[in-house]
Every structure is written in structure tokens, then in C-alpha cells.
């Protein structure tokens, strides 16, 4: 079976980390975009269709939680996996309450990361599928009324 690549946006201010993880994810067959700040992340989202964002919580300037808030406000269907470098799960759990799909502690286990990526992608696909069906139903009802 040919794998359909997930469009991943990797956001972290640690450039070497972003480079290495993105190469690794690409090697695993994903399509990876990168951003080094919250602002850059939002800019990329405007231009590019993204399935899942891997977002570092701790960044200078606009931090991960703030970025998460903006993402969920402007691109609610995009799934977010939080990366925490603190070992502080509390912030991550807060993030999940704000709509993040899940979190991972840095340095993250790659198997775990890919499993969560898959889960996030699946949730997004299912949600989009539901929306499509609902829209189709709506269209049918409308056209049904017209006749």
C-alpha cells in the first residue's frame, strides 16, 4: 500500500532539532514544513495546507500555548501535537483542553511520535469527512426543497 504522506508543520526555535526531526519524518514518508517561531507558523498556515502541527511549548516571543490559541481560532481543523521540554505535563494538559490533539515530552520517542501523528491525522480526516457528509446532506435537502 502506498502511504499517503501527512502534511506536517514542525514548529520549534531550536533549528538543529527542527532540521533533524524533519529529515527523519521525511525519511519516514511525511511531507514536512518547518517554522522557527509562532508567527512563522501562522504565516505558513495561511499559505499552505497542513494536517498536523508539531508545536514546541517553550519558544521565545509568542510561545506554544499562545500560538495554539491562534491556530485553533483561525484554523480549527488543523490538529496540534504539543512538545514539552519541561517535563511539565500540566501545561500540556491545559493545551489539550484548548484543543491540542496530544502532547509529547522532549526528547520524544519516534515511534510514539509517529503513532500520535497518525492518530491526529485520522481525527482530522474523520472530522473533514463528517463535514463533507453534512454539507452533502445540506445540499440534498436544499435541492430537495427546490423541486
Partner 1 sequence: MRMENISLLLVDDENDFRQTVAKRLIKRGMNVRQASSGQECLDSIAKDPVDVVVLDVKMPGMDGIETLHRIKEMHPEIEVIFVTGHACAQDGVEGIKTGAFDYLCKPIELEHLISKIRQAFDKRIREREKQKEKDFRAKMEQQMIATERLASLGTLAAGVAHEINNPLAIIREAAGWMKSILQKDELASMPRKGDFEKALGKIEAGVERVRRITHQLLGSVKQTDSTISEVNLKELLNETVALHQKEADDKDLKIIQEMGSGSGIIWTDPYKLRQVLINIINNAVHATDSGGRITATIETFDDDVAIRITDTGRGIPREHLEKIFEPFFSTKPPGEGTGLGLFVSRSIMNKLGGEINVESRLGQGTGFCIKLPKHPHVKSDLDKK
Q: Write out the residues near partner 1 by the rule CB under 8 A.
A: 14, 16-17, 20-21, 23-24, 27-28, 85-91, 105-108, 110
CB atoms < 10 A from the CB of 60, how many?
A: 8
> 34 or 45: whose CB is closer to partner 1?
34
Q: What are 118's three cell numbers?
A: 497518525
DSSP 3-state percent helix, strand, coil across the chain (nearest 5): 55, 15, 30
**CB of 95 vs partner 1, minimal distance in Å:** 12
Q: Which is nearer to partner 1, 104 or 125 (CB)?
A: 104
User: Measured between alpha carbons, how far is 143 from 146 in angstroms, rounded to an integer?
Assistant: 5
Nearest CA-CA partner of 60 in 37, 39, 83, 76: 37
Nearer to partner 1, 89 or 127 (CB): 89
Nearest distance in Å: CB 25, partner 1? 9
Instruction: Supply the minimum distance, in Å, between the C-beta of residue 50 and partner 1.
Output: 20
Amino acid at each position: 500500500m502506498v502511504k499517503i504522506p501527512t502534511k506536517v508543520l514542525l514548529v520549534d526555535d531550536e533549528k538543529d532539532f527542527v532540521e533533524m526531526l524533519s529529515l527523519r519524518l521525511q525519511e519516514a514518508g511525511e511531507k514536512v514544513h518547518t517554522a522557527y517561531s509562532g508567527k512563522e507558523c501562522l504565516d505558513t498556515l495561511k499559505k499552505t495546507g497542513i494536517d498536523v502541527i508539531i508545536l514546541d511549548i517553550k519558544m521565545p516571543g509568542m510561545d506554544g500555548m499562545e500560538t495554539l490559541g491562534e491556530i485553533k481560532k483561525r484554523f480549527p481543523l488543523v490538529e496540534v501535537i504539543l512538545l514539552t521540554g519541561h517535563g511539565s505535563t500540566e501545561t500540556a494538559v491545559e493545551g489539550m483542553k484548548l484543543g491540542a490533539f496530544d502532547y509529547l515530552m522532549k526528547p520524544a520517542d519516534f515511534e510514539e511520535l509517529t503513532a500520535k501523528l497518525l492518530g491526529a491525522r485520522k481525527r482530522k480526516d474523520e472530522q473533514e469527512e463528517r463535514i463533507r457528509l453534512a454539507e452533502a446532506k445540506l445540499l440534498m435537502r436544499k435541492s430537495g426543497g427546490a423541486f
